[in-house]
Amino acid sequence: MRVIRLPGIHHDSNSVLICDSGDAVLIDCGTSWYQLLIEERIRGQLPKNTEISSLLLTSRRFNHCGASSYLSSAFNAEVFIHKSAVNCLSGGDHFSTWASRFNSDMPSTVATGINDEYKINIGNIIVEAIHLPGHSIDSMGFFVESHNLLVAGSTIPSAKNVSRWDLPTGCLPDLADSIELLIELDLEILISGFGEQISGKGQIKSILEKHRDFFDKCIEGDINEKYEEWDKPTQTVTYLTPKKWD
């Protein structure tokens, strides 16, 4: 198996290629702004004689899925997203995708709906969808159990940035529960929505517990007080930006 993280450009999320035995899957693809460049980068990284059969989306957010319609056509790959977001993508919804905050249109995208525990075979490995609601109702992670690896999307934006729940379809208690589920997986590798991957069971557990504890405090008390430790995020950013990280 080969895993290739393509760092996002500007507001774009990371894109992740998982390749094995001539087959590949792409997880997330950023906005539509750089879709031609993203295609070029992907083709430059694909192993010889390898084809992308599936495009998996961690959420409906524009900075994760805006290029999915174009790339689906470019690679003749089927798009998969949680079933609750299929109509949103097909209708080009510019509100709940947050494309409106990017001053952009959301391209109409044909996608196949999937549920929690849906499995996709990529060569000799299995990629499993794990429903992680909270950032959005359709948020998903994609788990490779054989390598104890998970691609988290904006559920875990980065080691030092926690997810937002105040965007359309977000839910704070669900987000805290989703982080708890990730802790239980005891991951070796976690590829976050933005920035570098996080490696090592101890490091990942420590980071996830910090995220969970922050959400739990927000649930227990005044959310506005908890925001005092964080810069106000811009309208397009899908994570909170900390002033400090203890």
DSSP-assigned states of every residue in 105-153: -------EEE-TT-EEEETTEEEEEEE-TTSSTT-EEEEEGGGTEEEEE
Residue 226: per-residue pLDDT:
62
Residue 153: per-residue pLDDT:
97
* Domains located in the chain, CATH noted: 2-241 (3.60.15.10)
User: 60: closest CA among 18, 91, 26, 103?
Assistant: 91
Taking CA atoms, 171 is separated from 137, 167, 208, 219, in Å, by: 8, 9, 18, 11
> Tokens standing for 101?
């905050």
pLDDT in tens, the chain (246 residues): 999 999 999 899 999 999 999 999 999 999 999 999 999 999 999 999 999 999 999 999 999 999 999 999 999 999 999 999 999 999 999 999 999 999 999 999 999 999 999 999 999 999 999 999 999 999 999 999 999 999 999 999 999 899 999 999 999 999 999 999 999 999 999 999 999 999 999 999 999 999 999 899 889 876 665 666 778 788 888 998 877 655
Residue 208, sorted as left (phi over 0), alpha (psi -120 to 50) or beta, turns out to be alpha
Residue 117: per-residue pLDDT:
95
Residue 232: per-residue pLDDT:
78
Q: In what order do the strands lie in the sheet with 23-27?
A: 2-6, 15-20, 23-27, 51-56, 78-82, 112-114
1 within 8 A of 19, measured Cβ to Cβ: yes
Please indicate, yes or no, whether the overall pTM of this predicted structure exceeds 0.85: yes
Residue 190: per-residue pLDDT:
98
